[in-house]
């Protein structure tokens, strides 16, 4: 369903700042990543979003295209981020149809709630493969095109960019690993590694004009992840822990994306931009709203959420 502009991007940004640019996004049919792409499209970009489910991905691509008249948004389903060749084929299609790739968003993710003793090694590996390996494969497949774009949009910092910006990647991470979060060992490990991957990329590819940054969302309302992994009472508890006094919105993440990809982000490289209202600083071990330490000692499986592991597998 098409969204009103105020739901996915602020009025701070000038229309057309990403004209003739292309953004490639894994997980692009998801709630957060689709908002990031929608903001870029509204501001002039064309886009290619990647997903596993063809119908959902294609439907979201058509929906995102409503953000700007004449926008081109491709939705490619049946793409497995765990397989490099699958992503490379998607990148090839994107470049053939849209002319290149200037910006990459690595946003594909998987998660569930389970303690370490409840989750199997295979369950742990599945999250690592989707989140971490998927992010690496996204980078690997798009990097040659980002390098090309960075060279075409080199910025000296002293004069306005004549041809806009390009050659930038954002990894969508999380704050789970900052203070430690129960029931989230696989995702915490994956996101910590993604932060490290971005830092390495910053060092290696910065001399070629590439910027690599991380956006770490906090609790964002009305998202698939929040719906799957939190009960209504958990959301209430989380909201009380956010210093700014509210849950985040997808627009908060989209605005951070525009900042990093735009002229505003020229000198930001290797950064982790936390967009959580300060929540991680107050959360601690009960940051997901689940009673601590009682839940740790009971060994009971979390009830009332869709994203959980039922037993040792």
Q: Which residues are catalytic?
A: 173, 191
Residues, the chain, total?
A: 313
* Residue 110: Cβ within 10 Å count: 20
Specify the residue for token string 């990148």.
91
212 in Cβ contact with 291 (< 8 Å): no
The DSSP element (H or E) to which 146 belongs, if any, is helix 134-152
Cα separation, 198 vs 139, in Å, equals 10
Cα separation, 133 vs 10, in Å, equals 33
Reference 87, options 22, 134, 23; nearest CA is 134
Conformational region of residue 189, where left means phi above 0, alpha means psi within -120 to 50, and beta covers everything else: alpha
Q: For 194, which DSSP code?
A: H
Q: What does each C-alpha distance from 208 to 111, 131, 267 come to in angstroms? A: 34, 26, 14
Q: For 192, which DSSP code?
A: H
170 in Cβ contact with 198 (< 8 Å): no
Reference 247, options 225, 272, 273; nearest CA is 225
């Amino acid at each position: 369903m098409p969204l009103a502009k105020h739901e996915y991007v602020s009025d701070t940004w000038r229309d057309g700042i990403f004209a003739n640019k292309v953004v490639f996004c894994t997980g692009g049919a998801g709630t957060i990543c689709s908002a990031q792409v929608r903001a870029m499209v509204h501001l002039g970009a064309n886009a290619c979003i990647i997903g596993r489910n063809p119908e959902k991905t294609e439907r979201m691509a058509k929906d995102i295209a409503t953000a700007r008249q004449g926008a081109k948004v491709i939705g490619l389903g049946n793409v497995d981020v765990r397989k490099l060749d699958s992503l490379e084929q998607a990148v090839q299609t994107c470049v053939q149809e849209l002319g290149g790739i200037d910006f990459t968003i690595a946003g594909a993710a998987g998660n569930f709630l389970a303690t370490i003793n409840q989750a199997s090694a295979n369950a742990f590996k599945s999250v690592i493969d989707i989140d971490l390996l998927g992010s690496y494969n996204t980078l690997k497949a798009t990097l040659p095109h980002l390098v090309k774009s960075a060279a075409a949009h080199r910025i000296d910092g002293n004069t306005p960019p004549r041809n806009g910006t390009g050659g930038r990647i954002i990894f969508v991470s999380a704050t789970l690993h900052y203070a430690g979060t129960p029931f989230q060992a696989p995702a915490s490990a994956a996101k910590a590694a993604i932060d490290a991957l971005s830092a390495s990329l910053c060092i290696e590819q910065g001399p070629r004009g590439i910027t690599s940054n991380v956006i770490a969302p906090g609790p964002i309302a009305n998202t698939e992840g929040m719906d799957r992994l939190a009960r209504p009472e958990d959301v209430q508890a989380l909201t009380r822990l956010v210093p700014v006094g509210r849950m985040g919105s997808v627009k908060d993440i989209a605005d951070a994306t525009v900042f990093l990809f735009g002229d505003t982000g020229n000198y930001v490289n290797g950064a982790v931009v936390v967009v959580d209202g300060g929540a991680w600083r107050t959360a601690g071990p009960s940051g997901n709203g689940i009673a601590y330490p009682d839940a740790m000692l009971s060994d009971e499986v979390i009830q009332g959420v869709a994203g959980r592991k039922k037993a040792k597998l």
